[in-house]
Amino acid sequence: MKQVAKKNDWVRIMQIILTPEERLKSLPESTRKVPLKCWINGFLMDESASIGDTVNIETLAGRVVSGTLYQLWPQYDHSFGRQQPTLMHAGNEVRKIMKEADKNE
């Protein structure tokens, strides 16, 4: 089923910032051989578009940006990973150290 975005839908576009040929020669080969890409979220300004179409969007900051329609209604799905056991008690330990330091002044 082809996904079609309509005007004012929240979408994500992709832009190629640098092609492999434009990348620095000093980069590792595995990095240098792929394009540098950027993803930007905003509201679709075109009447309608499908994934892969070149579109214009308006970002929350009011910038108008062009790029390839990448995703419809993107959501934030990142995390900071699982809790690190080493850091679980760090805040309490720091507070205890600071409290002791205040007593010694």
Contact 71, 57 (CB under 8 A): no
| CA–CA separation, 60 and 7 (whole Å) | 15
How do beta strands 10-18 and 64-72 pair?
A: antiparallel
| CA–CA separation, 67 and 5 (whole Å) | 14
- For residue 91, the model assigns a pLDDT of 85
For 87, phi then psi, to 5°, come to: -95, -10
In angstroms, what CA-CA distances link 34 with 4, 74, 82, 86? 28, 24, 30, 37
pTM over 0.85: no
C-alpha torsion sign, points 36, 41, 42, 44: positive
Q: What one-letter code names the amino acid at 45?
A: M
pLDDT by residue, tens only, the chain of 105 residues: 788 999 999 999 999 999 999 999 999 999 999 999 999 999 999 999 999 999 999 999 999 999 999 999 999 887 888 888 888 888 888 999 999 888 877
| CA–CA separation, 100 and 20 (whole Å) | 56
